[in-house]
Amino acid sequence: MLRTLWSLSLLAAVAVGGPAMAEDGEWTALFDGKTLEGWVQKNGTATYRIEGDTIVGKTNEGSPNSFLCTEKDYGDFELEFEVKVDDRLNSGVQIRSQTKGGPTGRVNGPQVEIESGPAEAGYVYGEATGRGWLTPKERLIPHDHFKNGEWNHYRIKAVGPRIQTWINGEAIEDLTDEAIYETHPSGFIGLQVHGIKKGTGPYEVAWRNIRIRPIKK
């Protein structure tokens, strides 16, 4: 029943506005279930396709990290989605991210980890920021809240310098980082397909029920 109500709310959001931003507090579907309108690929050559109600990213050997990014930027928000990833593929979702060197430059910014476990799913990495993990090392403890081979529900809340994450209802990270907020107060959402080693893959990662709502401080 919960899944049905959620799906109906997503369809309603698409009907009234598609991928466009709604008024404060309203949920908006970022993926309309039919097209990649409102998204643009940056960096690598992984492929993104629509399969049923999902966006599926597939690795391309020799490619660097690839990102399917929203054309719009978001500052303070709550983001939810479901994700399923091949056990041997690392992935993530960029938030408040930017590109270095113009529109075609290197994607950089906070990334919420997607990874089969026990591992670091849900912790926050600084993609191309030069800082590595933004989650402090003492909290970077592998866990098994991510269900391998299954759909996993992510919730991400970003308000000011604070980033909170949940996986399948379990609180994973509660990070306050003034430095990353100073450089990345807003930016695009990006679906990552990680680069892979030569002679490996192909691997896939899939997302569905991607929705966002703005938050006022």
Number of domains in the chain: 1
pLDDT in tens, 74-130: 999 999 999 999 999 999 999 999 998 776 799 999 999 999 999 999 999 999 999
Residue 14 confidence (pLDDT): 39
Ramachandran quadrant class, 139 (left: phi over 0; alpha: psi -120 to 50; beta: rest): alpha
CATH of the domain at 143: 2.60.120.560
d(CA 54, CA 208): 5
Q: Work out the average pLDDT over 61-67.
A: 93
Range of the structural domain that residue 32 is part of: 2-214
DSSP state for residue 15 in the 8-state scheme? H
Q: Work out the average pLDDT over 61-76.
A: 96
DSSP state for residue 153 in the 8-state scheme? E
The yes-or-no verdict on residue 19 having pLDDT over 60 is: no
E strand segments, 115-194: 124-127, 132-133, 152-159, 162-167, 170-176, 188-193
Residue found under tokens 């990833």: 85
Residue 198 confidence (pLDDT): 84
pLDDT in tens, 136-195: 999 999 999 999 999 999 999 999 999 999 999 999 999 999 999 999 999 999 999 999
Residue 24 confidence (pLDDT): 60
Residue 139 confidence (pLDDT): 95
d(CA 48, CA 63): 14
